[in-house]
């Protein structure tokens, strides 16, 4: 199932809507173990700069073959050989990665659907103990030039509410990621 309202505008425009160094800096990649996984990678807006900062493997999944092709091409153009990009409906079929293996899972701009727990559960499954799931999404307290309808956008409380029964802890790492996003990080308990 493709997340509704998850189509993409032109690549350069999409990329212009983020402060990418701010967001990759917030992930604090120095302290992260690999592999890193992005679910719903789009153009690779985050997959590619993150892969450039690590020698470990980075997996990126998207349901749209055109997005996968684009991320693959962007990885090639950046000279990155540590990125594996796959077409996959992660909601229906999971990521196919082994349980307990990932250091960081990115759920960026994808959790605006009622059944968001399915992706949080998959992130939880593939994370190692102490691994991190990072969520970013469009703010709903300000006007934004893009993003899904405001009513569908999750906020922190909605994400935390979806975690019941998963040993993912919110330890206070949340921030506004100017200009238009917010983010939180959750840690898998040991
Ligand atoms: C709004 S885009 C965000 C892309 C990227 N995470 C970013 O923030 O730049 C959401 C992406 O998720 C993909 N997607 C939607 N449903 C999916 C699913 N069930 N499995 C994998 N990818 C999915 C869409 O094709 C789209 O490329």
Asked whether residue 5 is assigned to any structural domain, the reply reads no
- The count of structural domains within the chain is 1
Q: Is the CB of 91 under 6 A from ligand 1?
A: yes
Q: Is the CB of 1 under 6 A from ligand 1?
A: yes
List, in sequence order, every residue forming a beta bridge with 108; answer none if it has no partner.
136
The ligand 1 atom at the shortest distance from the C-alpha of residue 136 is: 8
Asked whether the predicted pLDDT for residue 6 surpasses 90, the reply is no
pLDDT tens by residue, 119-130: 999 999 999 999
pTM over 0.95: yes
Asked whether residue 183 is assigned to any structural domain, the reply reads yes
Quick one: pLDDT at residue 34?
87
Asked whether residue 52 is assigned to any structural domain, the reply reads yes
Range of the domain at 17: 11-188
Asked whether residue 1 is assigned to any structural domain, the reply reads no
Quick one: pLDDT at residue 55?
87
Asked whether residue 4 is assigned to any structural domain, the reply reads no
Q: Is the CB of 63 under 6 A from ligand 1?
A: yes
Q: Is the CB of 6 under 6 A from ligand 1?
A: yes
Tokens, residue 156: 């922190």
The ligand 1 atom at the shortest distance from the C-alpha of residue 38 is: 6
Question: Residue whose CA is closest, atom 4 of ligand 1?
Answer: 42
Q: What is the number of residues in the chain?
A: 190
Q: Is the CB of 108 under 6 A from ligand 1?
A: yes
Give the CATH number, domain containing residue 108.
3.40.50.150
Asked whether residue 40 is assigned to any structural domain, the reply reads yes
Average pLDDT over residues 167-173: 96
Quick one: pLDDT at residue 28?
93
* Torsion of Cα atoms, 34 then 56 then 179 then 146, to 10°: -90
| CB-based burial, 12-49: b 16+ in 10 Å, e otherwise | eeeeebbebeebbebbebeebebbbbbbbbbbbbbbbb
Question: Residue whose CA is closest, atom 12 of ligand 1?
Answer: 40
List, in sequence order, every residue forming a beta bridge with 138; answer none if it has no partner.
181
Give the confidence band of 92 by pLDDT, cuts at 50, 70, 90.
very high
Tokens, residue 136: 């970013």
């Amino acid at each position: 199932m493709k997340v509704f309202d998850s189509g993409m505008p032109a690549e350069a425009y999409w990329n212009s809507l983020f402060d990418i160094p701010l967001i990759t800096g917030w992930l604090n990649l120095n302290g992260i173990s690999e592999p890193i996984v992005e679910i719903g990678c789009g153009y690779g807006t985050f997959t590619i700069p993150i892969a450039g900062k690590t020698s470990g493997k980075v997996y990126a999944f998207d349901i749209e073959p055109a997005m996968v092709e684009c991320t693959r091409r962007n990885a090639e153009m950046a000279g990155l050989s540590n990125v594996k990009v796959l077409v996959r409906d992660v909601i229906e079929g999971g990521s196919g990665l082994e349980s307990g293996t990932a250091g960081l899972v990115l759920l960026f701009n994808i959790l605006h659907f009622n059944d968001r727990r399915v992706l949080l559960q998959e992130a939880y499954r593939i994370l190692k103990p102490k691994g991190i799931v990072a969520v970013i999404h469009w703010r709903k307290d300000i006007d934004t030039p893009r993003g899904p309808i405001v009513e569908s956008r999750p906020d922190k409380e909605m994400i935390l509410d979806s975690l019941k029964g998963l040993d993912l802890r919110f330890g206070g790492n949340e921030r506004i990621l100017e200009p238009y996003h917010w983010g939180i990080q959750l840690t898998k308990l040991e």
